[in-house]
Amino acid sequence: MPDVKLTIAGRDYVVACNPGEEQRLQTLGAMVDASAREAGGGSNGLNETRVLLFSALLLADKLHDANSDAGVTTHNAQTIETMAQSADALEGLATRLENLALRLEN
């Protein structure tokens, strides 16, 4: 399994992925990083877990707005599948980051 280095809110993480998914994971990581920075990552005294929580909420809000604005019925099957895959990848990344945060706190 290839490892991909992601930088989220100024911190580096190494995440394993399936072969051929490296670029997608880097793209998703960049989205999470942008969201973490928007959520105040690296400033405002927020700990890593809270930055990730707010990042996830911001991403979920954007996804919800995109679905509401466009209407899910107007999305083609490929777009819905892509969004589902992105959500799955983000959920997996969030779980890994939560586990890391728990290990660092203990």
Report yes or no on whether pTM surpasses 0.85. no
Residue 4 has a pLDDT of: 92
Residue 67 has a pLDDT of: 74
- Answer whether 61's CB lies under 8 Å from 39's CB: no
Note the pLDDT tens digit of each residue in 44-89.
566 777 788 888 888 888 887 877 766 555 556 667 777 777 877 8
80 backbone dihedrals φ, ψ, rounded to 5° = -65, -45
Residue 40 has a pLDDT of: 75
- Answer whether 85's CB lies under 8 Å from 31's CB: no
Summary count for the chain: helices (H), strands (E): 3, 2
Note the pLDDT tens digit of each residue in 19-51.
999 999 899 889 888 888 887 765 556 677 778
Domain limits for position 86: 3-105
- Bridge partner residues of 13 (DSSP): 6
- Answer whether 55's CB lies under 8 Å from 36's CB: yes
Say how many residues make up the chain: 106
- Bridge partner residues of 16 (DSSP): 3
Question: How many domains, in total, are found in the chain?
Answer: 1
